Amino acid sequence: MPEHTGETRNEQLTRNIGELLQELRVAQAGVQILFGFLLSVVFTDRFHDASGFEKSLHLSAVALAVAATALLTAPAAWHRLLFRTGSRERILTVGNRLVLVGLVCLALAITSTVALIAKVVYGGIAMLIMAVLCLLLFGILWFVMPFRLHPANGTQPTGPPR
């Protein structure tokens, strides 16, 4: 069902860009904290004693955090470079896709980091359990629930009365 807000198309695009950029601020804070943690780990004595697998898992988490950072900041950079060029609709369309891929990278980076911590502290079985639990948590909350709540699926969210 299309949204009827009484806005012109340009006003709607402007609002949608603003909403996208605000959502990115929330996601980016998580990426920055995670990235800082991952960078600092390398400079600890314990990291130098880590196994090759643990170092590889760490590097994959760093790479995923870098990818999430690039993907989640791209729409803001595009907006800054392209604003006043009439490109809002294209920025929204492509930016939305990048944000979704960026969120997947963020979820995988967090999952890899939690798996690494579980591996170092408790071993391989804990690593697998924590990785599965993290993937389930992100998958359900970030992707399954929105599809279930979508009006086209016949599910009406309950909320405060109007």
Q: Which residues of the chain have pLDDT under 70?
A: 1-4, 154-162
This prediction has a pTM of 0.82
**In contact, 67 and 112? CB cutoff 8 Å:** no
Angle (nearest 5°) at CA 37 between 33 and 39: 115
Looking at residue 161, what is its pLDDT? Answer: 45
Looking at residue 4, what is its pLDDT? Answer: 66
**In contact, 71 and 34? CB cutoff 8 Å:** no
Residue 157, φ and ψ in degrees, nearest 5: -65, 145
Q: Say how far apart CA 116 and CA 126 lie, in whole Å.
A: 10
Instruction: For 44-68, give one letter per residue: b (16+ CB within 10 A) or e.
Output: eeeeeebeeebeebbebbbebbebb
